[in-house]
Chains A and B, each alone.
Chain A
């Protein structure tokens, strides 16, 4: 029995093709599909856009600068201390001090608990004794300020004429330090999750395999994912900066162009790292672990919430070689100091190397099926 006999050749009614697709049809559809998916995923909107704002708001309020830090002084009751109290009340800096007179035990107890910055005790020989803690900066400061105030009120003459100007400008506060750090961290988070996790999810769902069963250009697919990342990046940076400016009166010195360029490079870098992390993993459970493993050192060392200067100087070169450190430093320099891009080339180079090498390795190892 021949097959030709069995397959009835119906009146060939192959419908004429409806259209011809151009070179970029696949890319533009992939990009559109990705953006639609992101838009329809409420979790994405929350984690990418709302969460960083809440974090900035919370930390910004917790660490806001208190107006004119007041030094709280405990004075142990006695004759000498009464004189001292009188002198302090006369001194021009009197508003800076909050003085409480107590007995010795109460004073020392309060000092131990951090309620007082310095304790003034009679030394038993007609003089005064400061009790302070060299490990607490505010305590060291309190001692010298109290001493200064007392001495000058008692008639000490300063030999060199000095004058002071106070400076508490936007740019030097914690929130100013924090917002660029949050930006960097957010770009890392959304690059790693938005690309790494999304790809493994598609691999696990066999969607990647289904795609490579079509003539889709694989490069276009990755390009579309990266493009969607860049578009989100613009919104992420814009939102956080506008928020910082409106709520915390942050001053942005760098140009929008250079900040966007740094942000874009950062996004691509972490996109590359995310791609590499996701290049082999088959299950979303394993990629979650991997992503956290990759991001953990950068959360700690890269100066998101506090400066990495606090770590020993020996490891600074290592810390500076991390992509998030380079991104945070570059964003801070550009936003807070307006440092031009060409002066930042070592940082940008670090980013480009991480991104470029990751991308090349990822393409080599990437598993579509």
Chain B
């Protein structure tokens, strides 16, 4: 059985100079929920639009369920539900009219009422699109994708800018789609979302996949197991925090040290916190500094991301 989505050595160069995607490989199996993560400008949207057949790659192969865009475009369109980043649907049409319009493009669409109900839009069926809230609009965008009864769902930053409740509603919808055997490819800004929703992830930066695996796998490999975060008051004996950085990395069980320039918080990636913390307290004591804050937590995807790209996902 062919992979749901597969691409090899994908490259896209705009105007002969800007390389948005440089040699990207992905293989997504049927039934998977796969996430593309990366800072803005990393090439996520370009990649997803190439996979959707909306953009021609400069070079490289794409295959969707074993078919290629050049040969079977029309047939392939029947299988794909797409939600683009920032599509503004016609404001003067009602929700129902919009869904019916999209349904009319497919050979065998689902019934409009069923989709309305699934996306909790039944009450809004006769409202103009222009009158919808942000969350309702995004659900409508997903509704236009789901109305075709797709095999693969592409969601490009569908939850960006939504309130937590709307995001959760969309998660439920995506999970339900996956439970019914559908394949999902999504891009997101939210680490918690990727961590909860995706079976596998690829972190993309500068047009390449820099890490790939399940969330737990990535965290274990790259995030360290635990994170110890602390901040100290000015060190009395004159040593600066910068020079202390080596001291922190020399503590037992510490894998890496990260310093947040804004608030002076220092984060240690740690394998075994019970070994690190007593040593840390001693070290602070010896330097004559005062501990102001100390927390430990499980490493998250955010830690992986920051470690790999040097950036927080949302701080662009």
Contact = CB atoms under 8 A, between A and B. Distances in A.
Interface string B92-120: 11000100111111111111101000000
A214 B86 contact: no
Given A7-B32, A18-B114, A213 B77 contact: yes
B10 to A, nearest CB: 17
A6 interface: yes
B182 to A, nearest CB: 10
A158 B84 CA distance: 88
Interface string A118-130: 0000000000000
A215 B77 CA distance: 5
Contacts of A18: 109-112, 114
A55 interface: no
B148 interface: yes
A33 B101 CA distance: 7
Contacts of A211: 105
A41 B181 contact: no
B149 interface: yes
A37 B90 contact: yes
B87 A37 contact: no
B110 to A, nearest CB: 6
B104 A19 contact: no
B261 interface: no
B200 interface: yes
Contact of B93 (A12, A25, A36): A36
B275 interface: no
A37 B108 contact: no
Contacts of B53: 213
Interface range, A side: 35 or more
A343 B93 CA distance: 45
B282 interface: no
Interface string A203-227: 0011101111111100000000000
Contact of A215 (B31, B74, B88): B74
Contacts of B109: 17-19, 21
B222 interface: no
A317 interface: no
Nearest to B214: A1
Contact of A36 (B55, B84, B92, B105): B92
A36 B97 contact: yes
Interface in A1-48: 1, 3-4, 6-10, 12-15, 17-21, 25-26, 28-30, 32-33, 36-37, 40-41
A3 B107 CA distance: 31
B101 A12 contact: no
A209 B85 CA distance: 11
Contact of A20 (B107, B111, B144): B107
B199 to A, nearest CB: 5
A369 interface: yes
Interface of B: 29, 31-32, 49, 52-55, 74, 77-78, 80, 82, 84-90, 92-93, 97, 100-112, 114, 128, 144, 148-149, 178-181, 199-200, 214, 217
8 contacts: A10-B180, A14-B149, A17-B109, A37-B93, A209-B87, A214-B106, A214-B148, A369-B54
Given A9-B31, A17-B149, A40-B92, 14 more contacts: A3-B32, A3-B199, A10-B180, A15-B149, A18-B109, A19-B108, A20-B108, A21-B105, A26-B104, A33-B97, A40-B128, A41-B92, A206-B84, A210-B84
| List of 4 A-B pairs having minimum Cβ-Cβ separation, nearest first | A18-B111, A7-B31, A29-B104, A17-B108
